[in-house]
């Protein structure tokens, strides 16, 4: 189940990487590198921090093949994936929902505190996009006005609240993932943002 | 003893992160993330390099609670912490003094060469601030004209020189930390900088 | 044999770091830090990803001494190393050829898939330069129009193709390294670049 989620997140992030790299007029290898970094960046940081090495994409070739296939697909059908901005946003949002859940699961398996698990989920979901944006010379999406990390954190809190109730574990994870995706979609649609703190 | 120093450094760096994030008009979660990254960034790099995983702040919740409490404190009393620039500089300097000593201690425990221990201390002290500055889109403080890494290195050399003498170990560490803090304070006060090398 | 290649690559990258840091009018410690980061950055990422900690330059002081000696040499003879741009390019290219081979070798020893080994070689070769460029506020060389990662990948493919033939292993590595260096030199000389993908 988690494996499937992980692969789905990989596809979503790889495509989001290809779209932004094409937008930046990168060459073929540049596009592939950005797709790769976006897809595995967050999971790599997570694996390094909990000491699970070699990191997961190095031990299981499914990730590499999935990323290459997604990249080729996105390059070929780039004209069909109209409205680049909208699709990029959608794939990015699906990716953070899926990866948040994968990160929380890995944290629980490593026996870490719920707060740390939520932090791990947030990092898994956001770090790949941060590196992608830095390499593409964009302001990291996580620091733009849109709700981003907040969505991951809300999803994580949802998970730990629901896991107290008699609900099957798989459902808890699915609901947590949906909370992340919906929070971000609604926040962007209704232009909700966190208040900023001014020097009073 | 080292644990106390580590927590004190965490408070200093978390507050320095909050002050710079408020200055940048970030939202609440942005401020918390910058406080966190500033406080744990250097120690995380150190732990990763010597292979001590999961990294220390993931295993011991005291760090997380300290950072959250320091951030809330700094946000509430932000108007009292007048002269943001001066206080930021002061907290930053205290932080690098304390973290240099913690990094050297970890390196010695890992059985590493004195030069590597000094490098570890310098990284522990400076890397959190470097990430903070990159995320806040400032030129990293370590590369500005002020003495920074040099102060850490001088403190490290002081440690290894004094440890040859019959002085109690705790005192050696305290003196080394003070050397770091004083070097930076004096360098900034008297505008001392290292010479630059020009292409002759 | 690999140890010698590793040390040669360290010298080449340390000198390339010194030259760019002098160009940026950094102070003495800044120059040393850039030399260090350029020389050990790629290998550090590689060692972290495969879980070989403490990372290699922390366990073997030869790297530290080599970097310091190379840096002092490059600073003293900076006027003799005329045509900074050309020599920087040459040392950088020799460095990526040598480090690609070292990275592939480490990947094979860790029992990883050939594609992952090639990725490791490419990261070992390019990551130090990427950090150097980010710290010096230059666009990372890997994303400039020049062939860079492509050269590493071609060298990696050459290695795995030749290793099927009855050729002595050391020669396979030497040829692979030369392929990396020649590919980059020829690509720059004849202004060959990969095609970019435009949004059709």
Least Cα separation, residue B45 to chain C (angstroms):
10
Closest CA to A99 of A81, A123, A83: A123
Give the mean model confidence (pLDDT) for residues A78-105. 78
Portion of chain A with pLDDT greater than 70, in percent: 85
Q: Is the dihedral of CA A89, A94, A95, A99 positive or negative?
A: positive
Residue A144 pLDDT > 70: no
Of B66-75, B162-171, C131-140, C153-162, minimum mean pLDDT range: C131-140
Under DSSP, the state recorded for A27 is: B
**Does pLDDT of B96 surpass 80?**
yes
Query: Which residues of chain C are modeled with pLDDT < 50?
Result: 200
Contacts B–C by Cβ distance under 8 A: 64
pLDDT of residue C46: 93
pLDDT at residue C200, as a whole number: 47
pLDDT at residue A200 above 50?
no
Q: How far is C2 from chain B (nearest CA, A)?
A: 22
Name the more confident of B50 and C136: B50
- The structure tokens 């692979």 sit at C176
Residues of chain C with Cβ-Cβ distance to A53 below 8 Å are 48-51
User: Which of B44, B45, B51, B123 to probe by mutation at the C interface, max C CB count within 10 Å?
Assistant: B51
Q: What pairs with residue A27 in β-bridges?
A: C196
Q: What is the mean pLDDT of chain B?
A: 84
Q: Can you tell me the mean pLDDT for A136-162?
A: 79
- What are A23-56's pLDDT values in tens digits? 877 778 778 888 999 999 999 999 999 998 889 8
Residue to substitute from B58, B59, B63, B72, interface A, most A β-carbons within 10 A: B58
Residues 6+ apart with CB under 8 A from A74: A14, A15, A18, A19, A35, A81
- List subunits contacting chain C, requiring 3 or more Cβ pairs under 8 Å: A, B
Looking at residue C84, its pLDDT comes to 58
**Domain range list for chain A:** 2-142
Identify the band that residue B32 occupies on the pLDDT scale cut at 50, 70 and 90.
Answer: confident
Q: Judge whether residue A86 has pLDDT over 50.
A: yes
3-state secondary structure of B27: strand
ipTM > 0.85 (yes/no): no
Angle at B157 between CA C40 and CA B163, to 5 degrees: 125
Q: Which of A80-84, A88-92, C102-106, C164-168 is most confident? A: C102-106
Query: What is the pLDDT, as a whole number, of residue A3?
Result: 76
Quote the minimal CA–CA distance from B75 to chain A in Å. 8
pLDDT of the residue at B46: 93
């Amino acid at each position: 189940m988690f494996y499937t989620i992980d692969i789905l997140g990989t596809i979503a992030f790889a495509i989001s990487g290809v779209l932004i790299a094409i937008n930046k007029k990168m060459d073929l290898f540049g596009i592939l590198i950005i797709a790769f970094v976006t897809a595995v960046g967050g999971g790599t940081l997570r694996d390094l921090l909990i000491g699970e090495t070699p990191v997961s994409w190095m031990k299981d070739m499914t990730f590499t093949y999935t990323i290459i296939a997604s990249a080729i697909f996105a390059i070929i059908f780039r004209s069909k994936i109209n409205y680049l901005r909208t699709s990029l946003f959608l794939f990015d949002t699906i990716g953070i929902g899926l990866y948040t859940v994968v990160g929380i699961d890995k944290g629980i398996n490593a026996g870490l505190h719920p707060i740390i698990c939520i932090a791990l989920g947030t990092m898994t979901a956001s770090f790949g996009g941060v590196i992608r944006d830095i390499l593409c010379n964009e302001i990291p999406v996580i620091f733009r006005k849109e709700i981003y990390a907040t969505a991951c954190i809300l999803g994580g809190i949802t998970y730990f609240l629901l896991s107290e109730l008699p609900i099957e574990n798989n459902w808890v994870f699915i609901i947590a993932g949906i909370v992340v995706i919906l929070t971000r979609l609604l926040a962007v649609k209704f232009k909700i943002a966190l208040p900023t703190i001014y020097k009073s």
